Structure 1
């Protein structure tokens, strides 16, 4: 996936301002894709130059003007083409700083590595706790789509995220037990 396809997907639900796209992205797609606000705005500019979306300035008297983005037919086609690809070749490749550090952690003391794993475990628990708000986000955003099946897919994605983090947590606990035997 790329950032542009995530933004195209969000715009397929309806026109949004950059602020709304940024907030919606961070409320929903954070489970599997992270993006800075500046990255989102840069990508929106590129996508507009590519003809995948248009924007219009909405003038407001009591607030600053806002830019409203809408999907174009070429943008809809790009999203559809991307969704139709069945290329899962890279799906199970993991890019993780944590795993890279763990791989080379023989260079550190066992105690330091146990501490690193305990911190990782805390982060896993924080992520699981953060996922508790996803149900409310799904309910909130489901009112903005006319298709009743969209929230089902959002829920499936959230469930994957939950199970993935639980697996990471289980791994951390197992790794800690393994390293404690080395002390």
Structure 2
């Protein structure tokens, strides 16, 4: 997946401002695809140049002006093409490229105490991320009601379930690794 396809997918549900897209993206997709606000706006500009979306400037008197983005037929075709592409990205879901795990692999060069601190920090991040995933479920309910399509929101829920399982696996791994290192210290 790329950021542009995530944004096209969101716009396929209805027109949104950049602010609304940023908010929707971070509430629903950020647990498996992170994007900064500046990246989202750059991608929106690029997609408009490609003809995948249009924008309309809305002048407001009490608030700053805004741009409302709408997916075009070309954008819908690109989204459909991407969704229908061969499963070449399935292996991406199973591949791991982690600087953190590289540090774990070579952590025998450091103290056990330092390694434990690193694992406790990782465990805490997993726990925080799992807790933040609750907002993804809230977003699924909120946007599901707006879109009014149970089938679509069911797939959103399936993606969130992957996030739950991913963070549970991280917590499980960290707990086992901590036990192994504590045994080394005789704890």
Q: Could you tell me how far apart the structure 1 residues matched to 2:136 and 2:29 are?
A: 10
**Distance in 2, Cα, partners of 1:176 & 1:90:** 28
Question: Any idea what SS the aligned residue of 2:94 has?
Answer: coil
- Inter-partner Cα distance in structure 1 for 2:92 and 2:125: 26
User: What is the RMSD of the two structures over their aligned residues, measured on CA atoms?
Assistant: 1.2
Partner of 1:139: 141
Q: Counterparts of 1:6-45 in structure 2 under 5 Å?
A: 6-45=6-45
- Runs of 5+ in structure 1 lacking a partner? none
> What corresponds to 2:98 in structure 1?
96
In the alignment, the residues of structure 2 paired with residue 97 and residue 4 of structure 1 have an alpha-carbon distance, to the nearest angstrom, of: 26
Q: Aligned with 1:69: secondary structure?
A: strand
Instruction: Give secondary structure in 1 for the equivalent of 2:67.
Output: strand
User: TM-score, structure 1 length as denominator?
Assistant: 0.95
Structure 2: distance between partners of 1:16 and 1:133: 20
The structure that is helix-richer by fraction is: 2
Deviates more, 1:93-102 or 1:112-121: 93-102
Between the aligned partners of 1:55 and 1:63, the Cα distance in structure 2 is: 18
Q: Report the Cα offset of residue 95 of structure 1.
A: 2.6
TM-score by length of 2: 0.93
**Which stretch has the larger CA shift, 53-62 or 132-141?**
132-141
Contiguous gaps of at least 5 residues in structure 2: none
1:64-114: CA deviations, max 9, x gaps?
Answer: 111011111111111101101122233211232321221221221111101
Q: Is the 8 A contact 2:51 2:74 kept in 1?
A: yes
Instruction: Report how many aligned residue pairs link the two structures.
Output: 183
* Residues in 1 aligned to 2:169 and 2:30: alpha-carbon distance in whole angstroms: 18
Match of 1:57, SS? strand
Aligned residues of 2:5 and 2:79 also touching (Cα < 8 A): yes
Give 1:160 deviation, angstroms: 1.0
